[in-house]
């Protein structure tokens, strides 16, 4: 089973709110997910992103592939850099 980290849309009309979820790659955008690993609220300036860094890193180390948008959120929060450093340590 291929796992992806991606956004699922919540909120009402014209008031988006997103959950960052670990999901089977074949599932629909708002379908069944494996675990909620964070949230993203794009409406405030700047946008507010809350991620469970330990859970995100765990999924990434297990081989989960982040979507383009989630990868951007991970880079902004610094989690992606931590993941890259941990990959270098294990391969060295």
Reported confidence tier of residue 92, pLDDT bands at 50, 70, 90: low
SS3 63: coil
Handedness of CA 42, 44, 78, 36 (dihedral sign): negative
Distance separating alpha carbons of residues 58 and 39, to the nearest angstrom: 17
CB atoms within 10 A of CB 79: 21
pLDDT tens-digit map of 18-67: 999 999 988 887 889 999 999 999 999 999 999 999 999 999 999 999 99
User: For 22, phi and psi rounded to 5 degrees?
Assistant: -95, 125
* pTM, full prediction: 0.89
pLDDT at res. 3: 95
Q: Which helix (H) or strand (E) holds 24?
A: strand 15-24
């Amino acid at each position: 089973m291929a796992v992806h980290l991606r956004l699922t849309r919540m909120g009402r009309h014209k008031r988006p709110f997103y959950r960052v979820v670990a999901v089977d790659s074949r599932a629909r955008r708002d379908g069944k997910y494996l675990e909620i690993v964070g949230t993203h609220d794009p409406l405030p300036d700047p946008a507010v992103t809350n991620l469970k860094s330990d859970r995100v890193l765990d999924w990434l180390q297990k081989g989960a592939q982040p979507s383009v948008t989630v990868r951007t959120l991970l880079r902004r929060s610094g989690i992606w850099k931590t993941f890259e450093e941990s990959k270098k340590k294990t391969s060295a």
